[in-house]
């Protein structure tokens, strides 16, 4: 065998060996993926992209956000429940796909309450009941009087059937003992547009979305669902203040596939909580209409169990049946 041929064979063997040895390192270099199960744009998407950047800086790794849309969030959630529990895949989602879907969809191929592990809650959001020129009501008692006198026009709009604003409207109708027809819209903006135009009596939406129109006098927020008044509308009393036992809080949180090691959960959760509680994080979330919290895994687990059990009643009372 010639010297040149020996060199070629030796070189090939060395390259093959190097390739085999490099595979574990290559696997570790795969980016951390955060799946957001809704479309780009909006407050939630802005929050997750900020937090992904904070994770990148703290962990010195590539962190990407993937918008895995479809089926009201179910496609993205399923992708995370099916992912390896190795700390490379996380879910960032509003609470609906976690605590509402198990009571709405009877054929879920996963259980978000057991097939995901809570990492951290990052922010919360209140909901608002608003009215426009149709009713003239200034508070909930005046609204009750109007609804009973105008049963043919007693309707409320929400951003969509099966959403928390939908079920929040049902809570009010039950508490006030009034008949209230639900009109589903495709998103919050058309609800508010019809409300301002006097085409519908009431709108149930996220509170921040209606705040500017309320401040401009184009509509009136009659109540919010928080335990205390919303920072976006401090002049508006809560349902509780007006004698209605209604408290409903939405939230966004991070989850990981079940069986993800606790050390990973704690590490990532700590990074997220520090980012949320930083002055920059607080300013960013407030600007996007969210109230920053930063609650760790154990607290999030208790919150989602409480919310799952709470919403079973309103969902059943609504009679909502999904079409897909």
**Interior CA angle at 254 toward 49 and 50, to 5°?**
15
Query: What integer is the mean pLDDT of 167-183?
Result: 91
Options 3.40.190.10, 1.10.10.10, 3.40.50.720, 1.20.810.10; CATH of 126-242 = 3.40.190.10
Looking at CATH, the fold of the domain delimited by 30-124+251-318 is given as D-Maltodextrin-Binding Protein; domain 2 (3.40.190)
Q: What is the pLDDT of residue 27?
A: 43
Q: Which residues pair with 221 in a beta bridge?
A: 130
Query: What integer is the mean pLDDT of 203-231?
Result: 91
Check pLDDT > 60 for residue 14.
no
Tokens representing 231 are 């920072």
Q: Are 88 and 32 in contact (CB under 8 A)?
A: yes
Query: What integer is the mean pLDDT of 216-233?
Result: 90
| 30-124+251-318 and 126-242 agree in CATH topology | yes
H helix runs in the chain, sequence order: 3-28, 42-59, 74-81, 101-104, 140-149, 164-176, 188-196, 207-215, 262-277, 279-287, 297-318
Check pLDDT > 70 for residue 7.
no
- For helices 279-287 and 262-277, give the axis angle rounded to 10 degrees: 80
Q: What is the pLDDT of residue 206?
A: 87
Top pLDDT among 194 and 11 is at: 194
Domain range annotation of the chain: 30-124+251-318, 126-242
Q: What confidence category does residue 21 fall into, taking pLDDT thresholds of 50, 70 and 90?
A: very low
Q: Which residue has the tokens 């919050």?
A: 188
pTM over 0.85: no
CB burial of 57-90 (b: ≥16 within 10 Å; e: otherwise) equals ebeeeebebeebeeebbbebbbbbbebeeebbbb
Check pLDDT > 60 for residue 20.
no
Q: What is the pLDDT of residue 77?
A: 96
Top pLDDT among 51 and 42 is at: 51
Of 75, 120, 112, 110, residue with least CA distance to 96: 112
Q: What is the pLDDT of residue 230?
A: 84
Burial class (CB in 10 A: 0-12, 13-18, 19+), 8: exposed
pLDDT tens digit string along 252-273? 999 999 999 999 999 999 999 9
Tokens representing 143 are 């609204």
Q: Which residue has the tokens 């109540």?
A: 223
């Amino acid at each position: 065998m010639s010297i040149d041929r020996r060199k070629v064979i030796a070189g090939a063997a060395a390259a093959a060996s190097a390739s085999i040895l490099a595979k574990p390192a290559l696997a570790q270099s795969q980016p951390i993926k955060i799946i957001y199960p809704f479309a780009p744009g909006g407050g939630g998407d802005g929050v997750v992209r900020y937090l992904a950047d904070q994770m990148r800086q703290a962990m010195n790794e590539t962190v990407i956000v993937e918008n895995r849309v479809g089926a009201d969030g179910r496609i993205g959630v399923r992708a995370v429940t099916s992912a390896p529990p190795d700390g490379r895949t996380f879910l960032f989602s509003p609470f609906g796909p976690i605590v509402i879907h198990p009571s709405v969809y009877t054929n879920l191929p996963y259980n978000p309450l057991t097939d995901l592990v809570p990492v951290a809650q990052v922010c919360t959001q209140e909901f608002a009941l608003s009215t426009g020129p149709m009713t003239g009501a200034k508070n909930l008692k005046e609204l009750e009087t109007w609804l009973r006198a105008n049963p043919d026009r007693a309707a409320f709009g929400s951003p969509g059937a099966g959403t928390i604003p939908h079920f929040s409207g049902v809570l009010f109708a039950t508490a006030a003992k009034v008949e209230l027809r639900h009109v589903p819209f495709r998103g919050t903006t058309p609800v508010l547009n019809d409300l301002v135009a006097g085409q519908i009596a009431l709108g149930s939406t996220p509170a921040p979305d209606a705040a500017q129109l309320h401040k401009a006098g184009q509509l009136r927020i009659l109540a919010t669902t928080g335990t205390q008044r919303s920072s976006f509308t401090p002049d508006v009393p809560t349902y509780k203040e007006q004698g209605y036992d209604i408290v409903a809080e939405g939230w966004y949180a991070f989850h990981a596939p079940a069986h993800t090691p606790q050390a990973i959960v704690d590490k990532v959760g700590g990074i997220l909580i520090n980012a949320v509680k930083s002055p920059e994080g607080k300013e960013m979330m407030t600007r996007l209409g969210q109230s920053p919290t930063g609650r760790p895994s154990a607290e999030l687990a208790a919150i989602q169990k409480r919310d799952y059990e709470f919403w079973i009643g309103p969902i059943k009372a609504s009679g909502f049946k999904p079409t897909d």
